[in-house]
Structure 1
Amino acid sequence: MFDPVKVILRLVYFYSRLLGVLNFEIDFRTGRSRITRRASIYAAVANVIIFSQLILLSNSELMHTMWLKAGVLHEYLYLVIHTTRLSCVTATLLSRWWQRPHLIELINALSRLAFRRPEVTRMWRFRVAIKCLSILFSEVFQVILTLVVFQSVMTIYMAVSILMLYMLTALVNVIISHIYFINVNVYCHYCLLNQDLRAVLVAARSLEAEPGLRITRMSRCFTLTEQLEDIARTQSQLQNLLQCSSRIFGIQSLCVSAILYISVMATIYFTIVGFNVTKAFPSWKYVNMLLFCETVFYFADVLITMDNLYIVLDVHGEMLNLLQQFSTLAPSLDSRFEMAITYWFRELRNELRIELMSSCELIRKQ
């Protein structure tokens, strides 16, 4: 059966391999990652080619035109955006090499969790689809807008330079998509754990209300305790994986945050300038329409990315609220069951930290 989301994920994977962002292979049948000589050699060659392109772009006709023509704020701002993007791409590609073993361990751990709960693959379809669409439309309109703005001084070599520039800066979106997909996986597993926790809570309340033999009650309490402990172990693994992801993508998160900040400020400024220019030059109305579309899709992509961070904190808080409801149960169910709830709730009340830029953190406190 055709699954468009699986096709999207495979395209992202092969595109990441093509650009040299991934320097290892992933087996689609098992979901396991491994280092191979073929993947390492190709990624090294791809990175060398990309770095060579960065040097060529710095001396290209496009950059010379931009530097020579730059005389007002928005033109310098345009240069700052692309310089920042290219610098961040360089730092990210280098960091992928020394973080490779940790990244492989992280992916393999998520694959093991997904193998245990295959229904998780159906839960993140919508979020993967909207993320890919927002990236696609944002980049398409950005490329078209650049080509239209430079059409008066456009040459074949400049057009090639522009397309090359956006192919390189597309690496940023690939990097963001990797972080995004890991957080989506953690979020969906949290949702499944909350469903399991609700089921345990319902079963415990029904057991509390039903009279029965002590042996039967103890047997059912033992089963519920095992389920609760299994949920607690999986939640601890997810929290460790999330913190491991924050450490692995530390430098990359710093780069992405810098790009997002500069791009958001520049987008707001370009939008204001675009409307003012349109008033003076009606022929620029098509540029303004492209700028409006690019702005809408760009901010949609930013909101989708940021929401992906906060939803993990939300489901963590939901789990805390569910555990609080266990305190309303009768204290005579089972001592082991009560100890498991008390211990897990005490551990879960610790802060959940999602580190951004190594120093900036999103924190869930109870």
Structure 2
Amino acid sequence: MLVLVKWCLKSCYWNGRFSGVLNFEADFKTGQMVATKRSTIFSAFSHLLMFTLLIYHTLRTHTVTTMWKYANSLHEYVFMVIAGFRLICVFLALVSRWTQRRTFMRMLKSFWILYKKNPEIIQYCQRSILSKFCCVTMAEIFQVIVTFVLIRNKINFATGLRLWAVLSLTAVINVIIMQYFIAMASIRGRYTLLNRDLRTIVAETRSLNPNRSGVFVTRCCCLADRLEEIAISQSGLQKLIEQLSEAYQGQVVCLVIGYYLNMVASGYILFSITKYKGLSDNSPLIVTICSIAYFVFYYLDCCLNSLNIFYLLDEHDKMVRLLDQRTLFQPGLDHRLETVFESFVLNLSRNPLKLRFFGLFEIDRVSSFALGNSILTHSLLLIQYDVEHF
């Protein structure tokens, strides 16, 4: 499984290079990140060509009615809004990549150092990474199949260029999300290792018999040193999370908006296929099957993105609960050990782990539930409008 994870990581890196999301080169043997002329020119040309073709494609408002004979004006309006906002969001995300290129180079360097110091973290996040890679890959494969089947009789050079632009846009979105996913999964893996060590320290401290002997004092000093190392590591991890959130906040906000609009539109499209039989009656069976499979993997991908962050927050909460067990320690512990415990707890209380973006929203289970409720509400509003006017 470890070989597969490394292959996924390499694939993500090269996809980032080919899509222009990574506008610098990385040497993972030495950890050096270099913004070469070659990587700069290739990324700039790729983005310029993609957006030129996408703008031209978006302005062709008859796209939906060409694909679907029975599409109404609301379908066309929804398509244009989704395509326009998606284009703007990806544009802003890539602008952030160019304006903060040095920041992303430092971030990748930091994660390279984190992995070199703690190679075990891969064991605790390999399933998440493989599941994410599998969902993204399968969704893209089904999307490509549906697209090629629908335009099989209209393939020419111009159509091929527009298709390449659309698939490149999807690749850019997936690469950005995959990079953020891997970063958060790696931090979660490191948190798991810290919690494992902290659990051992808490168990050893609870077993201490305060008798003020030399052995007792030595053990307390040893435990205090180990606890200080965990506290320093946790503080560094939280700073890394804050830097990651700050660097990705523009991209995360843009992509969350994109996900939101796609979810709302997906609910309406599923309703439309049921209501307007002509939307799917003339399509081959493989289109229907692949479309359903695409939606399944797309929603699984969204769930994995959310769960990845929730599990990280859970690991942080586990650390807080482990430290709360200090109230069960026997009285009379070494003063230094008690001081380190109190300092660690105080630091976590003063700096709770919160994933905020531009102050607009915070990612946690409550906000995700509210977002899901909002998606359902707006999907129903679209359906209600369709029922009343068409």
Q: Above 0.5 in TM-score?
A: yes
Partner of 2:377: none
Whole-Å Cα distance in 2 between the matches of residues 12 and 345 of structure 1?
Answer: 38
Range with bigger deviation, 217-226 or 67-76:
67-76
d(CA) in 2 for partners of 1:162, 1:40: 24
TM-aligned CA distance change 1:119 to 1:180, over 3 Å = same
Counterparts in 2 of 1:259 and 1:44: CA distance versus 1, 3 Å: same
Rounded Cα–Cα distance in structure 1 between residues aligned with 2:34 and 2:155: 44
Deviation at 1:362, TM superposition (A): 2.8
Residue aligned with 1:353, SS: coil
The CA deviation at 1:46 is 3.0
Query: Any idea what SS the aligned residue of 1:183 has?
Result: helix
Where does residue 9 of structure 2 map in the other structure? 9
In structure 2, C-alpha distance between the alignment counterparts of 1:196 and 1:214, rounded to whole Å: 25
Name the residue aligned to 1:94.
95
What are the Cα deviations for residues 169-211 of structure 1, in whole angstroms up to 9, with x where unaligned? 3211111111111111111111111001011112212333xx7
In 1: Cα distance, 2:363 partner to 2:281 partner: 45
Q: How does 1:174-323 map to 2 (within 5 A)?
A: 174-208=175-209, 214-278=213-277, 282-284=281-283, 286=285, 287-323=287-323
Letter in 2 for 1:221: C
- The separation in 2 between residues aligned to 1:281 and 1:93, in whole angstroms, is 35
Report sequence identity in percent: 31
Match for residue 158 of structure 1? Answer: 159
Q: Is the 8 A contact 1:194 1:319 kept in 2?
A: yes
In the alignment, what sits opposite 1:65?
A: 62
TM-score (norm 2): 0.84
Q: Distance in 1 between matches of 2:2 and 2:328?
A: 47
Matched, 1:132 2:129: no
For residues 230 and 32 of structure 1, do their structure 2 counterparts lie closer, same or farther at Cα, with a shift above 3 Å needed? farther
8 A Cα contact 1:186 1:238, kept in partner = yes
Counterpart in the other structure of 1:46:
46
Residue in 1 that maps onto 2:122: 121
Aligned residues: 359
SS in 2 for 1:23: coil
Verify the 8 A CA contact 2:33 2:109 in the aligned structure 1. yes
State the alpha-carbon separation in 2 of the partners of residues 35 and 227 from structure 1: 39
> Deviation of residue 279 (structure 1)?
8.7
Match of 2:33 in 1: 33
Residues 274, 288 of structure 1: 8 Å contact kept: no
Q: Following the alignment from structure 1 to structure 2, what is the Cα–Cα distance between the partners of residues 281 and 66?
A: 16
CA distance in structure 2 between the aligned counterparts of 1:281 and 1:99, rounded to whole angstroms: 45
Mark the runs of 5 or more structure 1 residues left unpaired by the alignment: none
2:5 maps to amino acid? V
Change (3 A) 1:126 1:281: closer
Contact 1:313 1:352 in 2 (8 A): yes
Counterpart AA for 1:179: Y
Report SS of the residue matched to 1:39: helix
